[in-house]
A and B are shown apart, each in its own frame.
Chain A
């Protein structure tokens, strides 16, 4: 099990008094999909937001321990630069409503004022949309507003937007929880294909989704990492009683 993209070491996080994340140690492997599952409020989204330091938007947020992205301590680099290396897709599709599909894809460059030639931009847009399996549907409407797309298409546009930044890791925060079953199936297929190009950390409270798409699964409960391992093993022979109970629907 080599090639760690992300190493979370003795990590604690809190929004105020109580620790939401308690002493988590977790490795995310290169070009693999790692799913974090657990009941609502278990801290899985908080942990994910720590990876690109979005948790710091909350003024009461604090943390202990370290996270390494390709051996760089993320708390030692500028949060803005870190976020350019870490792509994130949110629960609700959130394309920029003032921008066209084209501009949405390269929004990370445009908003940051990073200049690119027309050819570079065209190439980046096409490549990212192809990777997000959206190119065929929108190639003739690139200059229409992104908000005219359906929910599932919007979410793929957001994935394309994150991919365009060439992230070292892609964070997906329950990316299908606001979508219908068809779009969900489509996006799950897309996620599986994406691991050829990028390492993925997926948060889900849909157990079946974790089983369908991930290579590794982490089960988090009440802020603690209860179990982590290859998805097949976690789902077939869980080591911890709580994992088994969660998987069989006894709680959560």
Chain B
């Protein structure tokens, strides 16, 4: 091999390596731009009143988003109560019965569910619940969000349990522990940190969803904690305020956007922390 060819290879190696680093750095830019932009616009809207006051009357200055915060929390709780138990059980099923025909179909439908546009999920929840009940409700919004959480939780539980070595299960079974106790007391606790982190990720994924709520939770300018009445949520509030003509409302929308993004960011960081800190070595 000539020196020329050799140098060329080294050069190509280097170019390739720096290309990778360059691309990885570029991907950081949008995130920081979003954060910077939201921070500079949103921070001025934030004060104590913002979080615990109700929205001001139309045309008045100031006001807060207390109803939207409470609404978002209720929607997330409703969705979690529905999606977490089902998601965990289905995830266990997929990991334990890989070869069944049913698993194959469950997997496919999870993938389809994950790919379904969120507005469509909203419309489905509308036709299932809102229409028969005749009223927009927090409950229907929770169902729509639960449908969006499910595939994420299922996938994360399935992957987690598949990684747990078979010999732990065998150890438990060989002690005469029944199958269901083996799963609940040995396998689930062993994968708990990854499962929790998957659940937190799925919550952060739905916390900012707007489209599925338009036809379900619908929004509500007043404080409501009733599951079967329309309820406000932060993304809905942002959507309505940002498309209104009033600068005061724009300001509040910025503040709400900033708070929502921070909430999601923190949730993501906690989820990373949980999976690292409580990681179980096996």
* Residues in A whose Cβ lies below 8 Å from that of B105: none
For chain A, the bracket of interface size reads: 20 to 34
Indicate with 1 or 0, residue by residue over B134-162, a CB within 8 angstroms of chain A CB atoms. Answer: 00000000000000000000000000000
Indicate with 1 or 0, residue by residue over B167-195, a CB within 8 angstroms of chain A CB atoms. Answer: 11011111111100110011001101000
- Of the A-B pairs whose beta carbons lie under 8 Å apart in the complex, a sample of 22, sorted by A's number, is A80-B177, A82-B176, A83-B174, A83-B175, A84-B176, A85-B176, A88-B174, A94-B165, A96-B186, A98-B186, A98-B189, A98-B190, A98-B192, A107-B172, A108-B177, A111-B172, A111-B177, A111-B181, A111-B182, A112-B176, A112-B177, A165-B175
* Residues in A whose Cβ lies below 8 Å from that of B189: 98
Indicate with 1 or 0, residue by residue over B65-90, a CB within 8 angstroms of chain A CB atoms. Answer: 00000000000000000000000000
* Cβ-neighbour of B176 out of A94, A95, A108, A158 (below 8 A): A108
A98, B175: Cβ atoms closer than 8 Å: no
* Residues in A whose Cβ lies below 8 Å from that of B190: 96-98
B282, A108: Cβ atoms closer than 8 Å: no
Q: Indicate if A54 sits at the interface (CB-CB under 8 A).
A: yes
Contact flag A90-B170 (CB < 8 Å), given A111-B185, A111-B186? yes
B residues apposed to A, CB below 8 Å:
165, 167-168, 170-178, 181-182, 185-186, 189-190, 192, 280-282
A residues apposed to B, CB below 8 Å:
52, 54, 57, 80-88, 90-92, 94-98, 107-108, 111-113, 147, 158, 161-162, 165
A97, B176: Cβ atoms closer than 8 Å: no
Quote the shortest CB–CB distance from B163 to chain A (angstroms): 12
CB nearest neighbor in B for A81: B176
A165, B176: Cβ atoms closer than 8 Å: yes
Supplied contacts A81-B176, A85-B176, 6 more A-B pairs, CB within 8 Å: A83-B176, A86-B174, A98-B186, A108-B175, A113-B181, A161-B171
* Residues in A whose Cβ lies below 8 Å from that of B186: 96, 98, 111
* Residues in B whose Cβ lies below 8 Å from that of A165: 175-176
A80 to B172, CA, bound (A): 11
B176, A80: Cβ atoms closer than 8 Å: yes
CB nearest neighbor in A for B176: A84
Quote the shortest CB–CB distance from B122 to chain A (angstroms): 40
* Cβ-neighbour of A94 out of B168, B185, B192 (below 8 A): B168
Quote the shortest CB–CB distance from A176 to chain B (angstroms): 15
* Residues in B whose Cβ lies below 8 Å from that of A108: 175-177
A80, B171: Cβ atoms closer than 8 Å: no
A158 to B175, CA, bound (A): 11
Quote the shortest CB–CB distance from A134 to chain B (angstroms): 17
* Residues in B whose Cβ lies below 8 Å from that of A85: 176
CB nearest neighbor in A for B177: A111
A57 to B189, CA, bound (A): 22
B173, A57: Cβ atoms closer than 8 Å: yes
Quote the shortest CB–CB distance from A115 to chain B (angstroms): 15
